[in-house]
């Protein structure tokens, strides 16, 4: 059995420059035994360790069936993520995981899946989108609502366009500020709910992004009669240990690292948007 | 920390601006016991790996010799205690983009800084030790590197350990600002669940004012910390000294606790002087 | 030829020894007139700042004389102070001390043989360069060295300036589980250690017989390390406290290192001196491995120091296994101690040779005066003698580079811990 708490080594096998500050690393376990024992669920994350520099939690975007190969899309924001930017094919780093609770796959089977995401909160839902697309017959309609600040913040634009062309799939994009090359909507992600084709009884909604955006979206969804019980969200908190010891990531009684990052909305409702606890 | 965050950024930027992906590294020795360099030499396989990651251009004890080479990262062991050393450190600084002081000698003057502030002066000591003192060319003081040139990163410890030096190298290789844990030793001691020798046995432990980094070695052996990692950030030395006094230590002994391996570090020096007055 | 020209080469050469030195020689008609090994060791005044210090502080201070052999300094100081205080360590403590000392010999010798000396004999500038061509030799050295460090860590948390020693014994004895792990490693290193003896003996070492006096401790039953009488191969046989009756340290103008003489003569301390005097005290497996090499003892070839170190590595690995197998933790790991006014002398065999300390203490056990004679000072005069003989035997007609290399190789034989100094040996040859 793979022990998620034991750090193992991974090697960069491919590196994709998504934008000047966002990059995707494709990682392979150097120990084949680890590779074969490693199991993940969409929405989970790994603690990536840049040798001598530090550890950061990063969502896994690859499909669970993509054996032994992990994909992480990372935005450079500080010491560790900027250092990781220097990794090249062949370089190695440490990894422990997978950690946390992923999306409720069993509850999603047979239903329409509505994905609402803002800014770069996309990584945790990308794995879910891919999961659905790779097992299309097990799910109903797929609706993706994605909002970004600036038009060039949208990474994987080609991918969104490809998804848009698929049957039974609706992809809606919005940017706070439009531009000449932006054929999509302008405004907050909430403007998209007017165009979205959501059946409140058949849908399960998965949200990920800045908390104000998720809160606004939830209000719209409730107005559309989507039950609170059908909503799930992935949140982010600064965390250190990933295993519920340090308390950095606590949200009320919940540890984001272990009880999340994906939460059932009703469980998180009292704490969402509350500051200073 | 002597070097401000601002100067660190500048040196780091200069380091990041290097053309060669494989940075050039030098290890220089000044007045010291060689113990800190051993953090590299004792690292075994890691040393060979390091030699792949960086180009070690000068490291006398390990072989490569090119003391005047321009380098990206210079590690400096030892304090400045002779006129020749005072000159040499200037050259090292001029030739290095990022300068790291390695251990207590380089960072605070180390044990030999006990010569500073002694009534006889180094001259008196020279006469006592050497038959022909006129041939001994020594400064009156042994001082930290940062009193002579700008230091970009200070590593405390007598000796520093492999974890500290390799962490610094890695961080610099990745182009990020190295961070040094500024906790007091007691924090680490608690984490390791050692029984506190100060509280349980009344042994005058320096842990509460000492920079973390050693892994709480002394308390693990049931003895007091003697502060070989130097003063922690904002150490409350006065309060600890009063506690030692309360434990029955003579003022002279209290003074000696601070007048040891890092005697030249300002926080320890002040406390030493205060208690020396009383003895 | 350059017979009538003054040649002066100033090149940094003394890499791979800890310290700073310069070699100056002037020669005429193939003979060396004067030779000086200048040592620029920044004075660190240890003997002065030991004054007024309590016993535990003494142990923590003397370690810092040398980062490569801190244990030797602590061992010698504890022995001297216990003598001053009339403390008698138990046999349990004596065994533990010997075990810890084995660790230091192992790490120091492994470092010297593989990282510092071998490049000379295999034709490399340094071990890092050598690692590419001889990875196995370098890795073997690193393994043995690490094992020595692990052994020291059992007693002091770290191998440089370990923290576990105290008057009467140790603050805490080795943790049994960790001790067992080190024992396993040592057992599997026996083969490495034995192979090393044969390997060093097979190297094409220069053939250079010289006259010299060997001095070392000698013990009734053990290969002397922590205890014994001071003996020489010229019949000297002294208790440790009488050292100063025959040995004198003096200060010469060209160096900051002190020179020691035995009844006015240079002498040798260190691995080869020890092997010459004490080879009959080696444990049986080591003695047979040594016999298999065909080396005849006593040896007059200083280059055999390399083999002597290998033999001692073999001995301490086997000795450490024996001591660890017999280890049963005892609490506390020290005998009760008191302090008193007194005088005590201590002598032990540091990896580089005889180390002698003397302390005078007051009634509170604080040091009134300290005297420390390190091995490097004792070998100083012998090194100059050796350089003179070896370079003449090598032939002064050789070009400067060759002379320099040979000079370095000769000096490195002594593993001079000039930290007890700093970096450059500048060679200055004057030929007339
Ligand atoms: C469960 C989870 C999954 C994540 N998945 C991804 C992902 O797939 N891709 C990705 O790029 N990032 C992801 N993050 C965020 C990522 O962990 C942080 O960006 C990273 O820890 C920053 O570390 P740093 O040392 O580079 O920056 P620092 O120097 O520590 O900080 C730089 C800036 O980032 C802020 N910051 C620090 N930690 C976090 C954090 N955890 N969340 C948000 N802001 C933070 C700081 O306040 C500061 O403003 C995830 C975080 C969590 C908790
Ligand atoms: S800081 Fe300590 S270990 Fe390092 S060189 Fe100085 S005396 Fe030696
Ligand atoms: S033993 Fe020393 S370092 Fe540890 S908690 Fe007590 S005072 Fe602090
Ligand atoms: S506990 Fe204190 S004296 Fe001991 S090693 Fe650590 S910092 Fe040095």
- Other beta carbons within 10 angstroms of residue C143's beta carbon come to 18
Q: State ipTM.
A: 0.85
For the cut 50, the answer to whether the pLDDT of residue B4 exceeds it is no
| Ligand whose nearest atom lies closest to the CA of A257 | 1
Q: Which chains touch C (3 or more CB pairs under 8 A)?
A: B
List, for residues C269-327, the tens digit of each pLDDT value: 999 999 999 999 999 999 999 999 999 999 999 999 999 999 999 999 999 999 999 99
Check pocket membership of B227 for ligand 3, CB cut-off 6 A. Answer: no
Around ligand 4, the residues with Cβ closer than 6 Å are B 185, 210, 214, 216-218, 225-229; C 163
B:123-182 residues touching chain A, CB 8 A cutoff:
166-171, 173-177, 179
Around ligand 1, the residues with Cβ closer than 6 Å are A 45, 54, 56-59, 73-75, 77-81, 123, 236-239, 261
Contacts of C288 (CB under 8 A, 6+ apart): none
Cis peptide bond prior to B159, omega within 30° of 0? yes
Q: What is the Å distance from ligand 1's center to A57 Cα?
A: 7
Q: What is the Å distance from ligand 2's center to C100 Cα?
A: 21
Alpha carbons A95 and A77: distance in angstroms, whole number: 19
Q: Domain C46-377: give its CATH architecture.
A: Orthogonal Bundle (1.10)
Alpha carbons B263 and B104: distance in angstroms, whole number: 10
Q: What is the Å distance from ligand 1's center to A210 Cα?
A: 13
For the cut 50, the answer to whether the pLDDT of residue C8 exceeds it is no
Mutate to test the interface with C, among B36, B61, B106 (most CBs of C within 10 A): B61
Nearest CA to ligand 3 atom 6: B196
Q: Which helix (H) or strand (E) holds A170?
A: strand A169-177
List, for residues C373-394, the tens digit of each pLDDT value: 888 888 888 988 898 888 888 8
Enumerate the residues of chain B whose CB falls inside 8 A of the CB of residue C14.
60
- Please give the residue of chain A at the shortest CA–CA distance from B178: A53
Q: How confident is the model at residue B120 (pLDDT cuts 50, 70, 90)?
A: low
Enumerate the residues of chain B whose CB falls inside 8 A of the CB of residue C141.
none
For the cut 60, the answer to whether the pLDDT of residue A80 exceeds it is yes
Contacts of B243 (CB under 8 A, 6+ apart): B198, B204
- Please give the residue of chain A at the shortest CA–CA distance from B168: A52
For the cut 50, the answer to whether the pLDDT of residue C424 exceeds it is no
Residue A248: per-residue pLDDT: 85
Chain B / chain C CB contacts < 8 angstroms: 188
At least 3 CB pairs under 8 A between chains A and C: no
- Closest C-alpha among A212, A265, A204, A255 to residue A234: A265
What domains does chain A contain, in order, with CATH numbers?
8-99 (2.40.30.10), 105-268 (3.40.50.80)
What domains does chain B contain, in order, with CATH numbers?
11-174 (3.40.50.700), 185-276 (no CATH)
Q: What is the Å distance from ligand 1's center to A238 Cα?
A: 6
Q: Report the gap between the CA of C423 and the closest CA in chain B (Å).
A: 7
A:27-66 residues touching chain B, CB 8 A cutoff:
50-54
Q: What pTM did the predictor assign?
A: 0.87
Tally of CA atoms within 13 A in the half-sphere of A197 that contains its CB: 9
CA dihedral C27, C32, C33, C37 (to 10 degrees): 100
Pocket mutation for ligand 1, best pick of A58, A79, A84 (most atoms within 8 Å of C-beta): A58
- Other beta carbons within 10 angstroms of residue B16's beta carbon come to 15
Enumerate the residues of chain A whose CB falls inside 8 A of the CB of residue B169.
52
Check pocket membership of B207 for ligand 3, CB cut-off 6 A. Answer: yes
Q: How confident is the model at residue B256 (pLDDT cuts 50, 70, 90)?
A: very high
Mutate to test the interface with B, among C48, C56, C173 (most CBs of B within 10 A): C48
Enumerate the residues of chain B whose CB falls inside 8 A of the CB of residue C57.
226, 256, 260
For the cut 70, the answer to whether the pLDDT of residue B136 exceeds it is no
Q: How confident is the model at residue C6 (pLDDT cuts 50, 70, 90)?
A: very low
**SS3 assignment, position A185:** strand
Q: What is the Å distance from ligand 2's center to B28 Cα?
A: 13
Q: How confident is the model at residue B3 (pLDDT cuts 50, 70, 90)?
A: very low
Q: Report the gap between the CA of B112 and the closest CA in chain C (Å).
A: 5
Chain A / chain B CB contacts < 8 angstroms: 29
List, for residues A136-164, the tens digit of each pLDDT value: 889 888 988 888 887 777 777 778 888 88
Q: Which atom of ligand 1 is nearest to the CA of A61?
A: 8
Q: Report the gap between the CA of B10 and the closest CA in chain C (Å).
A: 30
**SS3 assignment, position A265:** helix
List, for residues C239-250, the tens digit of each pLDDT value: 999 999 999 887
At least 3 CB pairs under 8 A between chains C and B: yes
Enumerate the residues of chain A whose CB falls inside 8 A of the CB of residue B170.
50-53
- pLDDT exceeding 90 applies to what percent of chain C? 63
For the cut 80, the answer to whether the pLDDT of residue B2 exceeds it is no
Alpha-carbon distances, residue B37 vs A204, B86, B158, C69, C141 (angstroms)? 61, 20, 11, 13, 18
């Amino acid at each position: 059995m793979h022990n998620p708490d034991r750090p193992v080594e991974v090697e960069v096998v491919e590196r994709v420059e998504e934008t000047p500050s966002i990059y995707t690393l494709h990682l392979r376990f150097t120990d084949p035994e680890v590779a074969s024992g490693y199991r993940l669920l969409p929405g989970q994350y790994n603690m990536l360790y840049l040798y001598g520099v530090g550890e950061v939690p990063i969502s896994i975007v690859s499909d669970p069936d993509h054996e032994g190969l992990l994909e992480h899309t990372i935005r450079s924001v500080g010491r560790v993520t900027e250092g990781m930017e220097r990794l090249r094919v062949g370089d190695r780093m440490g990894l422990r995981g997978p950690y946390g609770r992923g999306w409720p796959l069993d509850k999603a089977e047979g239903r329409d899946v509505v994905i609402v995401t803002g800014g770069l909160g996309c990584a945790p839902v990308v794995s879910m989108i891919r999961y659905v697309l790779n097992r299309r017959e097990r799910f109903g309609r797929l609706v993706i609502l994605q909002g970004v600040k600036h038009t060039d913040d949208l990474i994987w634009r080609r991918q969104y366009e490809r998804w848009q062309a698929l049957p039974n799939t609706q992809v809606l994009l919005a940017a706070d500020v439009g531009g000449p090359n932006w054929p999509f909507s302008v405004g907050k992600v909430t403007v998209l709910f007017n165009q979205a084709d959501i059946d409140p009884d058949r849908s399960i909604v998965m949200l990920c992004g800045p908390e104000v955006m998720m809160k606004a979206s939830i209000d719209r969804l409730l107005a559309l009669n989507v039950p609170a019980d059908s909503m799930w969200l992935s949140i982010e908190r600064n965390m250190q240990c990933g295993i519920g010891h340090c308390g950095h990531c606590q949200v009320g009684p919940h540890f984001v690292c272990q009880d999340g990052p994906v939460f059932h909305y009703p469980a998180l409702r009292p704490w969402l948007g509350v500051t200073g606890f | 920390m002597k070097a401000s965050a601002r100067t660190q950024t500048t040196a780091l930027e200069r380091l990041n601006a290097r053309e060669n992906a494989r940075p050039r590294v030098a290890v220089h020795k000044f007045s010291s016991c060689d113990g800190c360099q051993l953090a590299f030499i004792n690292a075994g396989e890691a040393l060979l790996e390091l030699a792949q990651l960086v180009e070690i251009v000068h490291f006398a004890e390990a072989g490569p010799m090119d003391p005047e080479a321009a380098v990206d990262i210079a590690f400096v062991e030892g304090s400045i205690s002779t006129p020749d050393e005072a000159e040499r450190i200037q050259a090292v600084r001029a030739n290095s983009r990022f300068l790291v002081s390695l251990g207590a000698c380089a960072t605070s003057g180390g044990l030999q800084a006990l010569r500073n502030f002694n009534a006889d002066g180094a001259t008196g000591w020279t006469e006592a030790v050497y038959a022909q003192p006129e041939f001994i060319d020594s400064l009156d003081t042994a001082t930290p590197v940062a009193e002579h040139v700008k230091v970009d990163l200070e590593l405390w410890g007598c000796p520093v350990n492999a974890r500290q030096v390799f962490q610094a190298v890695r961080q610099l290789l990745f182009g990020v600002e190295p961070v040094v844990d500024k906790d007091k030793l007691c924090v680490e001691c608690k984490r390791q669940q050692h029984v506190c020798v100060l509280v349980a046995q009344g042994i005058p432990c320096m842990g509460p004012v000492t920079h973390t980094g050693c892994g709480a070695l002394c308390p693990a052996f049931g003895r007091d910390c003697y502060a070989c990692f130097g003063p922690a950030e904002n150490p409350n030395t006065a309060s600890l000294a009063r506690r030692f006094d309360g434990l029955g230590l003579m003022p002279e002994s209290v003074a000696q606790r601070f007048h040891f391996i890092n005697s030249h570090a300002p926080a320890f020096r002040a406390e030493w002087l205060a208690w020396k007055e009383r003895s | 030829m350059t017979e009538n020209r003054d040649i002066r080469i100033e090149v940094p050469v003394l890499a791979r020894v800890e310290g700073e030195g310069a070699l100056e020689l002037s020669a005429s008609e193939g003979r060396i007139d004067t030779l000086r090994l200048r040592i620029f060791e920044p004075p660190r005044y240890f003997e002065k700042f030991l004054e007024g210090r309590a016993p535990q502080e003494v142990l923590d201070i003397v370690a810092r004389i040398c980062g490569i052999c801190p244990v030797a300094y602590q061992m010698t100081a504890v022995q001297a102070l216990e003598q001053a205080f009339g403390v008698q360590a138990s046999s349990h403590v004596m065994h533990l001390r010997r075990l810890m000392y084995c660790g230091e010999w192992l790490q120091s010798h492994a470092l010297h043989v593989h990282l510092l000396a071998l490049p000379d004999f295999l034709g490399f500038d340094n071990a890092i360069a050598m690692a590419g061509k001889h990875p196995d030799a370098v890795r073997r050295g690193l393994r043995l060295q690490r094992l020595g460090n692990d052994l020291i860590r059992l007693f002091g948390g770290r191998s440089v300036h370990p923290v576990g020693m105290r008057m009467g014994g140790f603050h805490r004895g080795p943790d049994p589980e960790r001790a067992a792990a080190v024992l396993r490693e040592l057992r599997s290193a026996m083969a490495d250690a034995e192979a090393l003896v044969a390997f060093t003996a097979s190297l094409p070492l220069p053939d250079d017989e010289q006259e010299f006096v060997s001095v070392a401790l000698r013990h009734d039953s053990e290969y002397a390390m922590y205890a014994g009488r001071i003996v020489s191969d010229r019949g000297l046989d002294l208790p440790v406290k009488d050292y100063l009756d025959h040995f004198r340290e003096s200060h010469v103008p060209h160096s900051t290192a002190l020179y020691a003489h035995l009844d006015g003569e240079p002498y040798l301390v260190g691995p080869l001196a020890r092997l010459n005097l004490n080879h009959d005290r080696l444990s049986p497996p080591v003695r047979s491995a040594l016999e298999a090499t065909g080396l005849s003892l006593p040896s007059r070839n200083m280059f055999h120091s390399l083999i002597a170190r290998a033999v001692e590595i073999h001995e301490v690995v086997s000795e450490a296994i024996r001591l660890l197998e017999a280890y049963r933790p005892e609490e506390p790991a020290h005998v009760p101690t008191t302090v008193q006014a007194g005088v005590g002398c201590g002598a032990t065999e540091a990896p580089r040779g005889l180390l002698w300390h003397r302390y005078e203490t007051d009634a509170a056990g604080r040091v009134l005066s300290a005297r420390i004679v390190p091995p490097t000072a004792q070998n100083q005069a012998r090194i100059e003698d050796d350089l003179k003989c070896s370079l003449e035997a090598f032939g002064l007609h050789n070009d400067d580079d060759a002379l320099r290399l040979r000079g370095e190789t000769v000096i490195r034989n002594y593993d001079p811990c000039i930290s007890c100094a700093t970096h450059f040996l500048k060679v200055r040859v004057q030929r007339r």
